[in-house]
A and B are shown apart, each in its own frame.
Chain A
Amino acid sequence: AQTVTQSQPEMSVQEAETVTLSCTYDTSENNYYLFWYKQPPSRQMILVIRQEAYKQQNATENRFSVNFQKAAKSFSLKISDSQLGDTAMYFCAFMKPFHTSGTYKYIFGTGTRLKVLA
């Protein structure tokens, strides 16, 4: 069974600094997707960044980038130039396409609560 582990329950970072959130996962699958989702205090989850396992290049979205190490099963999120609006709960997620029922199967980590300090 797949598992997703986020070992940092809480983190804080000074505004404008860089912070890295860690995520490791365990799977025997070769084809899968990885995501980072953000859940701000408003509670609606939004996608931050996604990575297809077959792509070697690390995904980047503006100030957000990932360090995807497939062999090590690691998928960390780096937030550069942190802003107060980045304060949120961040969830790492593993998605296996073509679940046995024909749908997607998502597994979420336990989350990392990030606080950006002014």
Chain B
Amino acid sequence: GAVVSQHPSWVICKSGTSVKIECRSLDFQATTMFWYRQFPKQSLMLMATSNEGSKATYEQGVEKDKFLINHASLTLSTLTVTSAHPEDSSFYICSASGTGPTTGELFFGEGSRLTVL
């Protein structure tokens, strides 16, 4: 199946710093990428949807200035948590969907655990 790679897997940062998480589709062109946040033992909460070359569409309640999403190419999307605070600590997951026979199927990255001290 298609592969989506997310980096870094773990990141610890000090409060007030910014952290960038990368999401790459390794073997297909990801026309759409999704960023989720997952709290322990809970479901995925969609943060934003991004299409290559256009601005991300944020879900209600998600601060776009805090969670900057860039989808500059068909294989790379980045999520930058700006001025991170302890309440931003969470598991962030990206996923991508392409076109063709697998249209609609989501391919997930491995997730990134962010801990803000």
Residue A108 lies at the interface, judged by CB distance under 8 Å to chain B: yes
CB-CB < 8 A to B103: which residues of A? 97
Give the docked Cα–Cα distance between A101 and B106 (Å): 18
CB-CB < 8 A to B46: which residues of A? 106
Give the docked Cα–Cα distance between A42 and B9 (Å): 11
CB-CB < 8 A to B32: which residues of A? 103-104
Instruction: Kindly provide the distance from the CB of B69 to the nearest chain A CB, expressed in whole angstroms.
Output: 13
Give the docked Cα–Cα distance between A110 and B43 (Å): 5
Instruction: Kindly provide the distance from the CB of A56 to the nearest chain B CB, expressed in whole angstroms.
Output: 18
Residue A47 lies at the interface, judged by CB distance under 8 Å to chain B: yes
Residue A91 lies at the interface, judged by CB distance under 8 Å to chain B: yes
Judging by beta carbons under 8 Å apart, are B110 and A101 in contact? no
CB-CB < 8 A to B107: which residues of A? 47
On whether A50 and B105 interact (CB within 8 A), knowing A43-B110, A110-B42, the answer reads yes
Judging by beta carbons under 8 Å apart, are A45 and B57 in contact? no
Q: Chain B's interface: helix, strand, loop or mixed, by majority?
A: strand
Instruction: Kindly provide the distance from the CB of B107 to the nearest chain A CB, expressed in whole angstroms.
Output: 8
Interface size on B, residues (CB 8 A): 24
CB-CB < 8 A to A99: which residues of B? 49
CB-CB < 8 A to A104: which residues of B? 32, 49, 97, 104
Interface size on A, residues (CB 8 A): 26
Give the docked Cα–Cα distance between A33 and B106 (Å): 12
Judging by beta carbons under 8 Å apart, are A95 and B110 in contact? no
Residue B108 lies at the interface, judged by CB distance under 8 Å to chain A: yes
Instruction: Kindly provide the distance from the CB of A26 to the nearest chain B CB, expressed in whole angstroms.
Output: 16
On whether A102 and B109 interact (CB within 8 A), knowing A45-B95, A111-B43, the answer reads no
Instruction: Kindly provide the distance from the CB of A99 to the nearest chain B CB, expressed in whole angstroms.
Output: 8
Select A91's contact among B44, B91, B105, beta carbons within 8 Å.
B44
Name B residues whose Cβ lies closer than 8 Å to a Cβ of A. 1, 32, 34, 41-44, 46, 49, 51, 57, 91, 93, 95, 97, 103-111
